[in-house]
Amino acid sequence: MTTDIDRMIEEALQGEEQALFRETAREPGFFAQAFGLLGGPNGWVNVVMMLTQIVLFIAAIWAGWRFFEAETALSALHWGLPAAVLVLASLIIKLAMMPELQANRMMRELKRLELQIAVSRKP
């Protein structure tokens, strides 16, 4: 049914509206959406979060490496706990950006719906 609706809308559109509909009809890939988080008014916050996440992950790898090189249980505990905490912190920061990614996806669909409504009201 959606293909029939899409076809009817596309037939009703002309020129610039048809190009706009085609542009909004296809959903960008994951990487395009992820890099889209780095722009806009809140982009700087996401850039800071991404850099922090990268630093935490590198520190976790370093602490994990030291954990596996440890010769005593106390030394292993000394490096293992920070490695685990750093990995978890980096994952939490990465997952904090997913709701914004989903919000951007919803806004894109709402704009597409608005375009469809505008076309259907056109005489």
Q: What's the rounded Cα separation, in Å, for the pair 88 and 85?
A: 5
Question: What pLDDT does 7 receive?
Answer: 66
- Sequence-distant (≥ 6) Cβ neighbours of residue 29 within 8 angstroms: none
Question: What pLDDT does 123 receive?
Answer: 62
Q: The tokens of 68 are what? A: 């596996």
Mean pLDDT, to the nearest integer, of 3-16? 62
Q: What's the rounded Cα separation, in Å, for the pair 70 and 123?
A: 76
Q: Which residue has the tokens 């951007």?
A: 104
Question: What pLDDT does 12 receive?
Answer: 62
Q: The tokens of 75 are what? A: 């030394």
More confident residue, 72 or 115: 72
Burial of 30 (0-12, 13-18, 19+ CB in 10 A): exposed
Q: What percent of the chain has pLDDT over 70?
A: 77
- Position 27, amino acid: E
Q: Please tell me the pTM assigned to this model.
A: 0.67
Mean pLDDT, to the nearest integer, of 71-91? 96
Q: Is the pLDDT of residue 2 over 60?
A: no
Question: What pLDDT does 1 receive?
Answer: 45
Summarize pLDDT for 21-41 with one digit per residue, the tens. Answer: 666 667 778 788 778 888 888
Domain range list for the chain: 1-37+108-123, 38-96
Question: What pLDDT does 6 receive?
Answer: 63
